[in-house]
Structure 1
C-alpha cells in the first residue's frame, strides 16, 4: 500500500494563518520579549513580534487546551484534549532547542491548566472535568511528585491554577465554589490544601492572578466581579465592582507592576482598573470575548486575544487597540485560489469570506453574512467575482475588490447550497445542493436565470468540477455516485458508483480520467469515457479523505482528510512522495497554486496552512 512506504519526505510548512482565541490565556509573550507564543490546533506557534516570522512546535496529537511559559522562558508547557478514557499528555518544550524536553501523562481526557513554579523546579497541572485532579511534577526528573483531588467535594470543580511569584512550594487553585492555597510537602511527597473562606459569597472562578508580593490572589468570576483573597489568612477581603459588573463574566486577569489590574470580559470589554477599589480607569470594547492578556516586559505594552481569533496590541499610555492579526474563529470550509494569480486566495467559514495574500498572512478583504455559514467558494477565472454557496440555500456573488454583493440567487437549493463552481467563460455557475440536485445558472448583466435542474443524486452533492471546455462537469455525492453531466443538453453521460460517501472529485488535466476520494479512505481512478474503474489506492489509515486537487501538469495531486495529514502523490505511480504534519483538526479543503510552488490547506480548527510544494512545474 502507498501509505506503508517509508521514503515519503516531510512537506515543508511555510506559514500558518490562525489563532485559537478560545484557549484561555493561550496568547503569551516570551520573557525575552521577542516572540508571541500561542496554540493553533495541535501546533504551538512562535511568532517574532518584529517581523512576523514563524516557527512551529509539533508533538501533540489533538487540540492544545492550555499553555504556560516559565519565568525565565527556558520552558514552555502545553496540555491537550483527548478522547474519553484516554490520557491527555502534557509536553514540556525546551525553548532554546525548539524541541520536546519531556512528555508527561496522568490526566484523563483533558489538561485544563498549567503553571510553572517561580524557580522553574516544578510544574503544576490540572485535569479537566472528567479528571479534576492536581498533579505536581519535578521538571528535572520529569516525574510526578504527588497528586490530589482538585476539589474538596463533588459539587466543586476546579478550573484554574497559578503558582506563587516567590515560593516554589506554594500555588493556588480555584473554580466552582472552590478556592484553595496549596503547600507542597516535599519530604512526604504530598500537597496540603488550605480552604479559603468567602463567607456567604458563592462564585465560579474562571481565572486567578497573584499580586507580585504574594499577599493577595485576585479571582475573576462568571458573575462579572473580582474576589480579592488574602493568601496567608485565606480570607476574602474585598469583592467588586459592586454596581457595574463585567458582562458575561471575567475571563482573564493580569496584575501590573503598578498594582493595577487588566481585566478581560466575556462580552469583549477590556479594562484597566484599580486593585484596591476596582474603579475603572480606562476601557475599550473589542469584538467578542477577551480570552488572553499577555504582558511584554513591565507591562508598558501588552497583547490581547479574543474569541473572534483576533490579536490586538496596546500600550499602557494611550490604551488604543491596534489590530495586528485576524483569522477564522471556526472551521474553514473551503479555499479557492485565483486562477493565473498565485498570490491571492479566498477562504470561507461560519458567517464570513476572507481574501488573503499568499505571502503575507494578513487578510485583504473580509465579507460577513451574519448567522449564516458559507459552505464553499470559488473565484471566477476573470477575477471579477467571488461566487459562494450558503447554508440558507442562497448563492451570493461578491466583488473581490470591495466585497460588494453583486448578485444573490434566492432559493437556489432547498437544503442549502453545498457545492459550487464557475465556468471558464464566466457566464454560468453550476451548483449542488443538500437535497442532491445539480443546477445550472446563467449570469446576466442585471441578474441571473436558471437554465436547468438535473435530478439523479439521492443525497447531498459534495463537489462540482467543470471540464475546461465548459461542456461537461462531474459531481460527487454522499449517495456513493459521481455523475458526469453534459452541460449543453443537460443530461447524464456516465456514472461511477462505489461503496463510499464521495467527498471530492478532480479531472486529470488531459480530462480522460477522474480521481475521487471519500469516506472509504481510498483514492480511486476512473475512465471518463465509460466510467470504468482503473485502480484504487489506500489514501489514509484513519478517517475520510475530504479534499483533493491536481497539478496543472497532471503529474501530482494532493489530498487531505480526517487523519490531519497533507499528502502529495505521484499520479502515475499512485504513491505518496511527501507528507505534511501540522494540522490540529480534520483537513477540510486543499488547493495547489497554478505555479506549482505553493499549497494551501485548511482545517476544522480554523487554521490555514501554507506549504512549499516539493515538485517544480513541468517544463513541457
Structure 2
C-alpha cells in the first residue's frame, strides 16, 4: 500500500467535530428524524479517530508492487525501502518525501536493504542474484553489481567497520564481499542444505551468523570461512531471521514454526 509515517495534524479538527456531534445528540430528542444520522456520524468519526491514533501514519506514496524490505538509517532520519519491481526508494521520515531519485538497476524483486553504519551507503540484495551498493544521498551505484550467487539474494548486511558485506542466497551459500571493490573475499560457504534466509556480522566483525531453510543456524569465522558454532538445531521449520546481540555474546533466531531461540554465541547452547 505504500509508506506510512506518523501524521497527527488533523486529529484536533476531528476531535472538535466529535465534540459537536456529541452535544447535538444530547440536545435532539429520541425519535427525531436526524438523530439516527447523527449517531451514525458519531460512530464513524470515533472509529476514524481511533484508526488514526493506532495507525503508524498517513499514506504518502503508492509505488508499483509490494514493499519487500525496509530499513532505517542509523540516525533514524531516513528509510530505505525495496520494492517488488526492483526499485529502491529513500524517504525522509518527517516529510514522507523521497530524498533521492529512485535507485534503479536491479532486474528482480529487492529482497533485502540495509544502511551502512555511517548512513552513507545502502546495500541491496535482489532476486536477480546480485548485490549492489548505492550512495544513500545520491542514489548512484557505488559498487556492483556484485555477481557470484546462482540464486536469489535473500539477505545482505554491512560489517560494522564498513569494509565488508555479507550476503545469503537461495543457492544455499553465504558470501563475504569487499565493500569497495566488490570482490568475493570469503566463500562461497556451502554447509547449509537449503536457502540462506538471513545473515549478519558480529559486532567485532570476526564472525557471521546465518539462518537457513534447512532449519539450522550456523556461526562462521570471517577469516577462514569455517563453521565455528553449529549447526544449531531444534527448529521445526525454516529459520527466517538471525541476529547477534550488541555485545556479541548471544544469538537470536526466529523460525517458520513460530519459535524464537536465544543461543550462546560461543558454545551454541540454548540460553
The question of a shared fold, defined as TM-score above 0.5 by the shorter chain, is answered with yes
Matched, 1:423 2:31: no
CA contact (8 A) 1:598 1:613 kept: yes
Aligned equivalent of 2:240, options 588, 600, 605 = 588
1:394 is matched with 2
Matched residue, 2:254: 602
**Equivalent position of 1:456 in the other structure:** 105
Distance 1:432 1:412 in 2: 13
Provide the secondary structure at the position in 2 that maps to 1:548: strand
CA distance, structure 2, for counterparts of residue 593 and residue 427 of structure 1: 23
Contact 1:413 1:434 in 2 (8 A): no
User: Structure 1 residues 514 and 497, CA, compared in 2 at 3 Å: closer, same or farther?
Assistant: same
Q: Is the 8 A contact 2:229 2:265 kept in 1?
A: no
Query: TM-score if structure 2 supplies the norm length?
Result: 0.75
Q: Which residue in 1 is equivalent to 2:207?
A: 556
Superposition deviation, residue 411 in structure 1: 4.0
Deviation of 1:450 after TM superposition, in Å, equals: 1.5
Task: Give the match for residue 490 of structure 1.
Answer: 139
Aligned to 1:437: 87
Counterpart Cα distance in 1 of 2:190 and 2:63: 32
Structure 2 unpaired stretches of 5+: 7-52
Deviation, structure 1 residue 417: 0.7
Alignment check: 8 A CA contact 2:186 2:225 kept: no
Q: Which moved more, 1:604-613 or 1:587-596?
A: 604-613
- CA separation in 1, counterparts of 2:127 and 2:173? 15
Q: How far has the Cα of 1:395 moved from its partner?
A: 3.1
Question: SS of 1:610's equivalent?
Answer: strand
**Does the CA-based 8 Å contact 2:122-2:136 persist in structure 1?**
yes
The Cα shift of 1:504 comes to 1.0
Which secondary structure does the structure 2 equivalent of 1:449 belong to?
A: coil
1:404 Cα deviation from its structure 2 partner: 4.0
Kindly tell me: are residues 592 and 406 of structure 1, through their superposed partners in 2, closer, same or farther at Cα, counting changes over 3 Å? same
1:230-251 CA distance string (max 9 Å, x none): xxxxxxxxxxxxxxxxxxxxxx
Alignment of 1:30-41 (within 5 A): none
2-side partners of 1:539 and 1:503: how far apart?
16
1:414 aligns with 2:64: yes
Determine which structure has the larger helix proportion and give its number: 2
| Alignment TM-score, normalising by the size of structure 1 | 0.34
| 2: CA distance, partners of 1:588 / 1:515 | 16
Aligned partners of 1:394 and 1:408 also within 8 Å? no
Q: What secondary structure is seen at the aligned counterpart in 2 of 1:458?
A: coil
Shift in CA distance, 558/412, structure 1 to aligned 2, threshold 3 Å: farther
Q: Tell me how far 1:515 sits from its aligned partner.
A: 1.6
1:451-482 deviations in Å (ceiling 9; x for gaps): 23111111111111111221111100010111
How far the C-alpha of 1:408 sits from its partner, in A, is: 3.6
User: Which secondary structure state, in structure 1, belongs to the residue aligned with residue 258 of structure 2?
Assistant: coil
1-structure distance, mates of 2:167, 2:109: 16
Describe the shift of the 1:435–1:534 C-alpha distance in structure 2 as closer, same or farther (beyond 3 A).
same
Q: Of 556, 573, 580, which residue of structure 1 is paired with 2:224?
A: 573
| The structure with more radius of gyration | 1
What does 1:127-146 align with in structure 2 at a 5 Å threshold? none
Counterparts in 2 of 1:475 and 1:412: CA distance versus 1, 3 Å: farther
Which residue number corresponds to residue 210 of structure 1?
none
SS at match of 2:97: strand
Q: State how far apart, in whole Å, the 2-side matches of 1:469 and 1:480 are.
A: 26
Partner Cα distance (1:410, 1:449) in 2: 8
The counterpart of 1:505, out of the listed 136, 156, 181, is 156
State the partner residue of 1:341: none
The answer to whether residue 130 in structure 2 is matched with residue 481 in structure 1 is: yes
Cα distance in 2 for residues equivalent to 1:410 and 1:434:
18
Supply the distance in 2 between the matched residues of 1:535 and 1:599 (Cα, whole angstroms).
22
Question: Deviations along 1:371-396, whole A, 9 cap, x unmatched?
Answer: xxxxxxxxxxxxxxxxxxxxxx3334
Assess if the C-alpha contact under 8 Å between 2:125 and 2:154 holds in 1.
yes
Deviations along 1:467-517, one digit per CA (max 9) or x if unpaired, are 122111110001011110011221111110222210111212221121211
